[in-house]
Structure 1
């Protein structure tokens, strides 16, 4: 029993199939976990908590806070479709560097981009909570401004997130805006050049496919971003985050099952999907809300140059959309083996 240490037993200890994390973890890793956990909880619960809080305050002596905010909300309600309210100090918080290092997450540039143009970064896959896309384009966690000098990133997300009182203010500080047509057209026509719109093309429905080894993308009928890009002459860059789908596992729900049908119905009615997922916990590696520590690498492909065409025909949109899908497939095939994807794995576009 030479060299016996109880901590070595603890490192391998499982109780009822649950693998526990070691007690002694470096402070740096603890800070990384805290950074990711605050985002996860904010994504899932902060909006609803703020909504509840605003109603609760109405029945307290602080009721005037909710009333004043209601007036502000009415006045400011369209700001999420007009560029948000990005603050560089918020985007540069050290917390976001810890967030990126948790996985770790890296942003990879393949070509330089002209700051005198506007771009739509068409991001894939959606994943369960868009961890890579948030960190890459709503923060400086992966050094966007250093990689792409002269460009301003805006992460476009579900418009419903900006309906939550108080939460919307916090979210817009990162440079996030809603993904409505009004919002996209504002950024491409009234905010000058050098704008990068990070748009997660697959939407909430694609989150239902987010699981390790799954490369199905909801893309074939998503042509709206192409039409808007043509209308405003914005270049489109394919963006693929290798590892985004590996962060969580989902409870299997076969196509055609009652659960899957219910998920799809709720997604279409509510605008956001309800995947049944699990990751790891703070003190265990077997289950919980935290994503697993698995590497993610986001590759930004070569832009597809687009000439302005304010009234493109359906055929012109379809042709450019096919060109985009070919470019995305090429980006995936060129880089997949560098980032842990087997040679025989391929994208499935639906």
Structure 2
């Protein structure tokens, strides 16, 4: 991939009021804190808060040297005005629903999505454009959406083409089809579960496609030292067996003097295919905390212990060589 991403990426869904409201000042301060901690890769999407994430991220980055940071956003959903007065709570965002989402994987829809995103961001380009959540629209993804993204890259409108999904099988199919620079795999390569290792990672290695790991805390379950039965997993309640496994992971981590969130952040980054771990951040404290977690070393013995207990696959995070893809700075 012709981009170099910071190891810790900023996930901008929370600053758009994911689950609970976030005000403008807090959103701006959170981006500032991430920047001060060295984060230079920022990921957003029209879906996040019906464009609020893009608007807030663009304002927060305004005035910073454009060559010093990378921005990714996503295409596949257009935002259409909606004056019904409903809220966006059904899609997870605590805001009034001034627009509604309309799926559009056509060539014109993809191009319009990018143009709209650039307007909201206040930018003349984004570095990486992902096709968003294609798992239920694979024929359209293959026939029109991916070719439209590739066309934008060929024109120089974007630098890299990607796909973002929590469906490892769908991502594998699209990688095998060709033309991609990166995939964002959400929740499928984490300390808790690693189905992306089975077929997606080998496909990415063969095609020299970079991996961006998202959802590394599994919707928040791995974000606290001791997993809470009232927490969330897959954006819903935590099944008992999943909670038991997360607590077993936490206990082994604690035995080695490591917090569960610290291990959860380090684990995906150990794999040579993973270019960045994107973490959602909603406050300056969270941004600073994630930077500290990344900068705090994790003893190798922890990984060996987790492997011996069968809690992570043997060699799963470090067994394969890195692909030989060019990675000049932008």
TM-score normalised per structure 2: 0.31
Structure having the higher Rg: 1
TM-score normalised per structure 1: 0.29
